[in-house]
């Protein structure tokens, strides 16, 4: 994976506030890299991973799974099929983490990404 999708994801995070739009555009940006054929974000809901936004054509034999962590807890996973650079994917996962909070207990506190 090249740096180009990372630059696009940084722009997305700077320009868009809606969590759904951020995540949809982030997976679309990941598959612009020639080494990435598919990308998806899974939400952790009641201990079960549920696939959310995805883009591209899946190739599960080439899948890399990276946990998405928020404030020390796993809130989902970033899945990428292709020739993925794990370090770059971990960076992406950390950047999108505040937008992957579906089903995450805020303890009654107001939350904004």
Q: What are phi and psi of 64, to 5 degrees?
A: -115, 130
Tally of domains within the chain: 1
User: Which residues neighbour 89 within 8 Å (Cβ) at sequence distance 6 or greater?
Assistant: 1, 64, 66, 78, 80
Domain that holds residue 11: 4-99
Establish if 113 belongs to a structural domain.
Answer: no
pLDDT per position as a tens digit, 15-74: 988 899 999 999 999 999 999 999 999 999 888 999 999 999 999 999 999 999 999 999
Establish if 33 belongs to a structural domain.
Answer: yes
Establish if 93 belongs to a structural domain.
Answer: yes
The CATH number given to whatever domain includes residue 25 is: 3.30.450.40
Establish if 10 belongs to a structural domain.
Answer: yes
Predicted confidence at residue 45, as pLDDT, reads 85
Predicted confidence at residue 108, as pLDDT, reads 43
Predicted confidence at residue 47, as pLDDT, reads 87
Establish if 111 belongs to a structural domain.
Answer: no
User: Which residues neighbour 55 within 8 Å (Cβ) at sequence distance 6 or greater?
Assistant: 24, 27, 28, 30, 31, 38, 39, 40
CA geometry: angle at 105 spanning 9 and 53, to 5°?
Answer: 35
Give pTM, 2 decimals: 0.86
Establish if 104 belongs to a structural domain.
Answer: no
């Amino acid at each position: 994976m090249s740096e180009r999708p990372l630059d696009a994801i940084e722009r997305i995070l700077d320009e868009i506030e809606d969590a759904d739009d951020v995540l949809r555009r982030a997976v679309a940006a990941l598959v612009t890299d020639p080494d990435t054929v598919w990308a998806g974000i899974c939400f952790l809901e009641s201990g079960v991973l549920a696939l959310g936004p995805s883009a591209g054509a899946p190739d599960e034999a080439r899948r890399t799974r990276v946990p998405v962590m928020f404030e020390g807890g796993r809130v989902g996973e970033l899945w990428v099929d292709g020739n993925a650079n794990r370090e770059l994917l971990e960076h992406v996962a950390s950047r999108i983490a505040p937008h992957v909070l579906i089903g995450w207990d805020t303890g009654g506190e107001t939350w904004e990404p």
